[in-house]
Amino acid sequence: MDSCGLICEKFVKLISRKDIGMNEMTLPSDFCSKYSNRLPGSFHLILRTGYRLPVFFNKGRPILNGVYCLFRDFGLKRGEMLLFEYFGRQDINVYIIGINGSEVEYPPVIHHLHTCHPRRVTVSNGGWRFALFVDATFGFDDEIESPIPFMERCGYDFPVSVRLVLSNGKVFWAKFTLETRKNSCLRRMSEILGVPDLKCFHMLLFTYDGFSAINVSAFDEHLYETVFPGSPLCNGVRASGFALTIKQSNILPDYCGADICNMWGRIDYIHVYENNCSWRLEVRKRSHWKGTYIHDGCLEFRNSLELDVGDLCIFQCCRESYNHFTVGVIKNPGDDH
């Protein structure tokens, strides 16, 4: 599954009884207007088991053809949801959310055209998700309650304090109570977003990374992701970061790496934000720990920002969050012309 590149708005399909027998699915118009030029006429929907479903996309209409096998092979039911995640490349990742709101236990299914074995799906490799719909009573309390299947899957090993990350990169900490499966975060989230409560959203998606962080996404009444305004930096908070000058090797078609500073471990991920765009980049240490470089996602990052040789990228983050950066670009500061 793709996990790096341009972070596009996620969207959700709430399955109806009629959908189960259909071989086509309508994609959100907002998604198609922004990203249809990136999607080929045929590509794959990819699930966590390694299941790859070939589908066909009509650029003239927001229609995806060939989805019937997905409903049949996974025994999807009315009331379940499909979560679509796209990184600006070719294929689209798909996750299944059960009627109880928790990501499902995936059956070991492989598409009949493929001969490989299904992958083992774990929390530590790809996290685990749950969704909550916002109703009239939502937000009267400061707490959200995690579904029981979600807690059973994640092993009840949550830390007492958990780091919540919004779609604009802002980070805050919240307390988690194991006995009640509740997380105190709603008031703080409303304060950061500058809204009286969260009823302006239709659904919230929480993605636990398997370690200490939960990513929070919000969706409108059409179940299309609403990207929060702002950046990881907060007023009055000291920033830290690094700078990267684009070299000739960074823009070659067959080169995706870019050397950066040594702030992370052997393999890690950083999120980079600029205006309403964001990217997820994989960073790795070189052999013998001699330097760190961007291993994956660099191509989409440099193309989206239209970077040229000599351009200077300045990455800044809050001191308590070294995985979420605001980026600014100075066009070739050494060019006198």
Beta bridge partners of 280: 5, 271
Q: Is the model's pLDDT at 261 over the cut of 80?
A: no
Nearest to 267 by CA among 293, 247, 243, 230: 293
Q: Give the 3-state secondary structure of 255-276.
A: CCCCEECCCCCCEEEEEEEECC
What separation in angstroms does the CA of 315 have from each of 4, 40, 59, 82, 330? 18, 32, 36, 34, 11
Tokens at 173, concatenated: 């900490």
How far apart are the C-alpha atoms of 185 and 324, rounded to whole Å?
20
Q: What is the tens place of the pLDDT at every residue in 276-334?
A: 899 999 988 877 666 788 888 888 898 899 999 999 999 988 766 788 899 999 998 76
- 291: β partners: none
Residue 140 has pLDDT above 80, yes or no: no
Model pLDDT for residues 246-260, shown as the tens digit of each residue: 887 665 444 455 666
pLDDT band (50, 70, 90) for residue 235? low
Q: Which residue has the tokens 């090993």?
A: 157
The residue with tokens 């709603």 is 186
Residue 302: phi and psi, rounded to 5, are -70, -35
Average pLDDT of the residues in 34-44: 94
114-125 pLDDT, tens digit each: 778 899 999 989
Where do the domains of the chain lie, and which CATH numbers do they carry? 5-226 (2.40.330.10), 239-330 (2.40.330.10)
Rounded to two decimals, what is the model's pTM? 0.89
pLDDT mean across residues, the chain: 87
Encoded amino acid at 204, one letter: L
257-258-264 Cα angle (round to 5): 100
Give pLDDT tens digits for 61-104: 899 999 999 999 999 999 999 999 999 999 999 999 999 999 99
